[in-house]
Amino acid sequence: MDRQIEPDLPPGLACLKNVDALLRCPICFDFLNISLITKCSHNFCSLCIRKFLSYKLQCPVCNAQMTEQDLRNNRVLDELVVTFQAARQQLSKATFDSPPISPKT
């Protein structure tokens, strides 16, 4: 996956780790890419879950039986991935860039 190289979170942003984890696909562990939600309320990248279902008709997380027709777009997750990554990048930058003391001349 080459969408974006992800820097580790600086120590001050460790609290964002849980949000980060919830926005990842349980199959590829990358950020969700075109999120689809199952009836059992689990989310996967569109490509990841379709590939999985071509092999086994069940949820990879909870094993509930399912078919491709049961999948539904979960667009808010796609938007959250974008806004979360932007926020994280900005916060990391602020944490790294700002010198401890910056007196004006």
28 touches which of Zn ion, a second copy, none (CB within 5 to 8 A by kind)?
Zn ion
99 touches which of a second copy, Zn ion, none (CB within 5 to 8 A by kind)?
none
User: Could you give the CA distance from residue 64 to residue 10 in angstroms, rounded to a whole number?
Assistant: 38
Give the range of 2-10, 28-36, 77-85, 91-99 binding Zn ion by CB under 5 A: 28-36
The CB density around residue 9, as the number of other CB atoms within 10 Å, is: 16
Note the residues at the interface with a second copy (CB under 8 A).
Answer: 12-13, 15-16, 18-19, 22-23, 37, 39, 41, 43, 72-77, 79-80, 83-84, 86-87, 90-91, 94, 100-101
* Phi-psi domain of 74 (left: phi exceeds 0; alpha: psi -120 through 50; beta: other): beta
57-96 residues in contact with Zn ion (CB under 5 A) are 59, 61-62, 64
Tell me whether residue 70 or residue 91 sits nearer to Zn ion (CB atom).
70
User: Could you give the CA distance from residue 38 to residue 26 in angstroms, rounded to a whole number?
Assistant: 13
Alpha helices in the chain (DSSP H): 17-22, 46-53, 75-97
